Amino acid sequence: MSDPSSSRRGAFIVFEGLDRCGKSTQVSRLVERLEREGRQARLQKFPDRTTAIGKMIDAYLQSKADMDDHAIHLLFSANRWECAAAIKRDLAQGITVIADRYAFSGIAFSAAKGLPFDFCLQPDKALPLPDLTLYMSLPQEEASQRSQFGEERYETMTMQQATREQFGLVAQEVKRIHGEYRWTEVDARGTIEEVEERIRGLIGDLIEGVDGEISQLWV
Ligand code: DGP
Protein backbone atom coordinates (compact mmCIF):
# COMPACT_ATOMS: atom_id res chain seq x y z
CA MET A 1 0.00 0.00 0.00
CA SER A 2 1.33 3.46 -0.77
CA ASP A 3 2.15 5.80 2.08
CA PRO A 4 -0.57 8.53 2.14
CA SER A 5 1.88 11.02 3.65
CA SER A 6 4.18 10.75 0.61
CA SER A 7 1.81 12.91 -1.45
CA ARG A 8 2.03 15.73 1.07
CA ARG A 9 4.01 18.82 0.27
CA GLY A 10 6.59 20.31 2.61
CA ALA A 11 5.56 23.00 5.07
CA PHE A 12 6.59 26.62 4.56
CA ILE A 13 7.53 28.05 7.95
CA VAL A 14 8.66 31.66 8.35
CA PHE A 15 10.46 33.23 11.30
CA GLU A 16 10.06 36.95 11.88
CA GLY A 17 11.16 39.37 14.56
CA LEU A 18 13.18 42.46 15.31
CA ASP A 19 16.94 42.55 14.94
CA ARG A 20 18.88 40.47 17.51
CA CYS A 21 15.85 38.53 18.72
CA GLY A 22 17.73 35.25 18.22
CA LYS A 23 15.86 34.35 15.05
CA SER A 24 18.82 33.31 12.90
CA THR A 25 20.21 31.05 15.66
CA GLN A 26 16.86 29.33 16.05
CA VAL A 27 16.32 28.95 12.31
CA SER A 28 19.73 27.26 11.86
CA ARG A 29 19.19 24.99 14.84
CA LEU A 30 15.76 23.97 13.59
CA VAL A 31 17.03 23.07 10.12
CA GLU A 32 19.97 21.12 11.61
CA ARG A 33 17.64 19.31 13.96
CA LEU A 34 15.23 18.33 11.19
CA GLU A 35 18.13 17.04 9.11
CA ARG A 36 19.47 15.02 12.06
CA GLU A 37 16.03 13.45 12.33
CA GLY A 38 16.30 12.40 8.70
CA ARG A 39 13.82 14.94 7.35
CA GLN A 40 14.35 17.06 4.28
CA ALA A 41 14.58 20.72 5.20
CA ARG A 42 16.08 23.85 3.67
CA LEU A 43 16.92 27.24 5.09
CA GLN A 44 15.99 30.28 3.01
CA LYS A 45 17.36 33.53 4.31
CA PHE A 46 15.84 36.90 3.38
CA PRO A 47 17.31 39.08 2.20
CA ASP A 48 19.28 36.54 0.18
CA ARG A 49 22.45 38.60 -0.15
CA THR A 50 24.08 36.21 -2.66
CA THR A 51 22.07 37.26 -5.74
CA ALA A 52 22.71 40.39 -7.84
CA ILE A 53 19.71 42.11 -6.20
CA GLY A 54 20.82 40.81 -2.81
CA LYS A 55 24.21 42.44 -3.24
CA MET A 56 22.55 45.82 -3.80
CA ILE A 57 20.48 45.29 -0.66
CA ASP A 58 23.59 44.31 1.29
CA ALA A 59 25.39 47.50 0.22
CA TYR A 60 22.35 49.52 1.30
CA LEU A 61 22.08 47.82 4.71
CA GLN A 62 25.76 48.38 5.37
CA SER A 63 25.31 52.06 4.42
CA LYS A 64 27.75 51.67 1.51
CA ALA A 65 24.99 52.81 -0.87
CA ASP A 66 21.99 55.09 -0.49
CA MET A 67 18.65 54.52 -2.15
CA ASP A 68 15.17 55.95 -2.27
CA ASP A 69 12.93 54.22 0.32
CA HIS A 70 10.47 53.05 -2.36
CA ALA A 71 13.25 51.69 -4.57
CA ILE A 72 14.88 49.66 -1.80
CA HIS A 73 11.46 48.37 -0.75
CA LEU A 74 10.86 47.05 -4.26
CA LEU A 75 14.33 45.49 -4.34
CA PHE A 76 13.65 43.58 -1.10
CA SER A 77 10.43 42.31 -2.69
CA ALA A 78 12.18 41.44 -5.97
CA ASN A 79 14.69 39.47 -3.92
CA ARG A 80 11.82 37.37 -2.54
CA TRP A 81 10.26 36.92 -5.98
CA GLU A 82 13.52 35.64 -7.46
CA CYS A 83 13.48 32.88 -4.81
CA ALA A 84 9.74 32.08 -5.04
CA ALA A 85 9.96 29.42 -7.75
CA ALA A 86 12.63 27.48 -5.84
CA ILE A 87 10.53 27.63 -2.65
CA LYS A 88 7.48 26.27 -4.48
CA ARG A 89 9.53 23.58 -6.19
CA ASP A 90 11.05 22.39 -2.91
CA LEU A 91 7.70 22.39 -1.10
CA ALA A 92 6.20 20.31 -3.90
CA GLN A 93 9.04 17.81 -3.47
CA GLY A 94 8.20 17.39 0.21
CA ILE A 95 11.01 19.58 1.55
CA THR A 96 10.23 21.74 4.59
CA VAL A 97 11.31 25.30 3.81
CA ILE A 98 12.25 27.43 6.80
CA ALA A 99 12.62 31.13 6.02
CA ASP A 100 14.58 33.60 8.11
CA ARG A 101 12.40 36.71 7.46
CA TYR A 102 9.91 37.20 4.64
CA ALA A 103 7.45 39.73 3.26
CA PHE A 104 6.33 40.67 6.79
CA SER A 105 9.72 42.23 7.50
CA GLY A 106 9.33 43.98 4.18
CA ILE A 107 6.19 45.75 5.34
CA ALA A 108 7.21 46.33 8.94
CA PHE A 109 10.61 47.91 8.22
CA SER A 110 9.48 50.04 5.27
CA ALA A 111 6.26 51.20 6.96
CA ALA A 112 8.35 52.08 10.01
CA LYS A 113 10.28 54.49 7.77
CA GLY A 114 6.99 56.15 6.83
CA LEU A 115 5.95 54.46 3.57
CA PRO A 116 2.18 53.79 3.36
CA PHE A 117 1.23 50.34 4.67
CA ASP A 118 -0.77 49.53 1.52
CA PHE A 119 2.11 50.43 -0.77
CA CYS A 120 4.40 48.19 1.29
CA LEU A 121 2.06 45.23 1.01
CA GLN A 122 1.40 45.31 -2.74
CA PRO A 123 4.66 44.07 -4.35
CA ASP A 124 4.60 40.82 -2.35
CA LYS A 125 1.01 40.00 -3.30
CA ALA A 126 0.74 36.37 -4.58
CA LEU A 127 4.09 35.19 -3.19
CA PRO A 128 3.84 31.72 -1.58
CA LEU A 129 1.79 32.01 1.64
CA PRO A 130 3.61 30.62 4.70
CA ASP A 131 1.77 27.82 6.49
CA LEU A 132 2.99 29.28 9.77
CA THR A 133 4.81 32.45 10.75
CA LEU A 134 6.53 32.46 14.13
CA TYR A 135 7.11 35.98 15.41
CA MET A 136 9.89 35.98 17.98
CA SER A 137 9.13 38.58 20.55
CA LEU A 138 11.81 40.07 22.82
CA PRO A 139 11.68 43.27 24.91
CA GLN A 140 13.73 46.01 23.22
CA GLU A 141 16.03 46.46 26.21
CA GLU A 142 17.11 42.81 25.96
CA ALA A 143 17.57 42.88 22.17
CA SER A 144 19.76 46.00 22.25
CA GLN A 145 22.07 44.46 24.88
CA ARG A 146 22.82 41.49 22.65
CA SER A 147 26.06 41.46 20.67
CA GLN A 148 26.44 43.30 17.37
CA PHE A 149 23.36 45.46 17.88
CA GLY A 150 23.93 48.75 16.11
CA GLU A 151 26.05 47.53 13.18
CA GLU A 152 23.53 47.87 10.35
CA ARG A 153 21.29 50.62 9.05
CA TYR A 154 18.06 49.78 10.90
CA GLU A 155 19.62 48.90 14.23
CA THR A 156 18.65 51.97 16.22
CA MET A 157 16.20 52.07 19.13
CA THR A 158 13.86 54.45 17.28
CA MET A 159 13.71 52.32 14.16
CA GLN A 160 13.26 49.08 16.10
CA GLN A 161 10.45 50.58 18.19
CA ALA A 162 8.61 51.81 15.10
CA THR A 163 9.12 48.43 13.41
CA ARG A 164 7.76 46.62 16.46
CA GLU A 165 4.53 48.62 16.15
CA GLN A 166 4.26 47.85 12.44
CA PHE A 167 4.79 44.14 13.07
CA GLY A 168 1.71 44.34 15.31
CA LEU A 169 -0.33 45.68 12.39
CA VAL A 170 1.12 43.06 10.03
CA ALA A 171 0.10 40.31 12.48
CA GLN A 172 -3.47 41.65 12.53
CA GLU A 173 -3.59 41.70 8.75
CA VAL A 174 -2.26 38.14 8.38
CA LYS A 175 -4.82 36.86 10.90
CA ARG A 176 -7.66 38.81 9.29
CA ILE A 177 -6.94 37.69 5.73
CA HIS A 178 -5.41 34.23 6.21
CA GLY A 179 -6.61 33.05 9.64
CA GLU A 180 -5.44 33.30 13.25
CA TYR A 181 -3.54 30.01 13.05
CA ARG A 182 -1.05 31.32 10.49
CA TRP A 183 0.69 33.76 12.87
CA THR A 184 1.99 32.83 16.31
CA GLU A 185 4.10 34.80 18.73
CA VAL A 186 7.03 33.05 20.42
CA ASP A 187 8.50 34.32 23.68
CA ALA A 188 12.18 34.76 22.72
CA ARG A 189 13.40 35.28 26.30
CA GLY A 190 15.43 32.60 28.04
CA THR A 191 18.17 30.25 26.93
CA ILE A 192 18.65 29.10 23.34
CA GLU A 193 17.47 25.62 24.39
CA GLU A 194 14.34 26.94 26.10
CA VAL A 195 13.31 28.96 23.06
CA GLU A 196 14.12 26.00 20.81
CA GLU A 197 11.73 23.77 22.77
CA ARG A 198 8.97 26.39 22.60
CA ILE A 199 9.39 26.59 18.84
CA ARG A 200 9.40 22.85 18.44
CA GLY A 201 6.12 22.66 20.35
CA LEU A 202 4.50 25.32 18.20
CA ILE A 203 5.55 23.73 14.92
CA GLY A 204 4.15 20.36 15.98
CA ASP A 205 2.90 18.19 13.14
CA LEU A 206 3.68 20.71 10.42
CA ILE A 207 7.03 19.02 9.83
CA GLU A 208 5.15 15.89 8.77
CA GLY A 209 3.98 17.77 5.68
CA VAL A 210 0.88 19.62 4.58
CA ASP A 211 -2.06 18.58 2.39
CA GLY A 212 -3.10 20.79 -0.51
CA GLU A 213 -1.47 23.38 -2.72
CA ILE A 214 0.42 26.33 -1.35
CA SER A 215 -1.78 29.47 -1.25
CA GLN A 216 -0.91 33.01 -2.25
CA LEU A 217 0.03 35.79 0.12
CA TRP A 218 -2.56 38.61 0.53
CA VAL A 219 -4.91 36.96 -1.97
P1 DGP B 1 19.01 40.22 8.63
O2 DGP B 1 19.91 39.72 7.55
O3 DGP B 1 17.96 39.21 9.06
O4 DGP B 1 19.78 40.80 9.80
O5 DGP B 1 18.16 41.43 7.99
C6 DGP B 1 18.80 42.55 7.52
C7 DGP B 1 18.07 43.82 7.83
O8 DGP B 1 17.16 44.12 6.76
C9 DGP B 1 17.24 43.83 9.10
O10 DGP B 1 17.45 45.08 9.75
C11 DGP B 1 15.81 43.72 8.61
C12 DGP B 1 15.86 44.38 7.27
N13 DGP B 1 14.90 43.83 6.31
C14 DGP B 1 14.72 42.53 6.02
N15 DGP B 1 13.82 42.38 5.04
C16 DGP B 1 13.42 43.63 4.70
C17 DGP B 1 12.52 44.14 3.74
O18 DGP B 1 11.89 43.41 2.99
N19 DGP B 1 12.39 45.49 3.68
C20 DGP B 1 13.08 46.33 4.49
N21 DGP B 1 12.90 47.63 4.35
N22 DGP B 1 13.94 45.88 5.40
C23 DGP B 1 14.11 44.55 5.52
Domain of residue 57, CATH code: 3.40.50.300
Is residue 219 in a domain? no
Residue 82 CA from chain centroid, whole number:
16
Is residue 17 in a domain? yes
How many Å apart are CA 58 and CA 47, to the nearest integer? 8
User: What is the reported pLDDT for 129?
Assistant: 98
Beta bridge partners of 131: none
38 CA to centre of ligand 1 in angstroms: 31
Is residue 215 in a domain? no
Q: Which residue has the higher pLDDT, 160 or 78?
A: 78
Is residue 214 in a domain? no
The closest alpha carbon to 23, from 113, 153, 143, 140, belongs to: 143
Is residue 216 in a domain? no
Q: Which domain, by its residues, includes 184? A: 4-208
User: What is the reported pLDDT for 143?
Assistant: 76
pLDDT per position as a tens digit, 67-84? 999 999 999 999 999 999
Is residue 213 in a domain? no
The closest alpha carbon to 43, from 55, 54, 29, belongs to: 29
Residue 149, ligand 1, Cβ within 6 A: no
Is residue 217 in a domain? no
What is the average per-residue pLDDT within 28-41?
96
Q: Are strands 12-17 and 132-137 parallel, antiparallel or unpaired?
A: parallel
pLDDT above 90 for 1? no
- Yes or no: say if 165 and 113 are a contact pair by the CB < 8 Å rule: no
- Yes or no: say if 42 and 95 are a contact pair by the CB < 8 Å rule: yes
pLDDT above 80 for 66? yes
pLDDT above 90 for 133? yes
195 CA to centre of ligand 1 in angstroms: 22
The closest alpha carbon to 24, from 204, 210, 195, belongs to: 195
Is residue 218 in a domain? no
Residue 20, ligand 1, Cβ within 6 A: no
What is the average per-residue pLDDT within 100-114?
98
How many structural domains is the chain composed of?
1
Q: Which residue has the higher pLDDT, 71 or 158?
A: 71
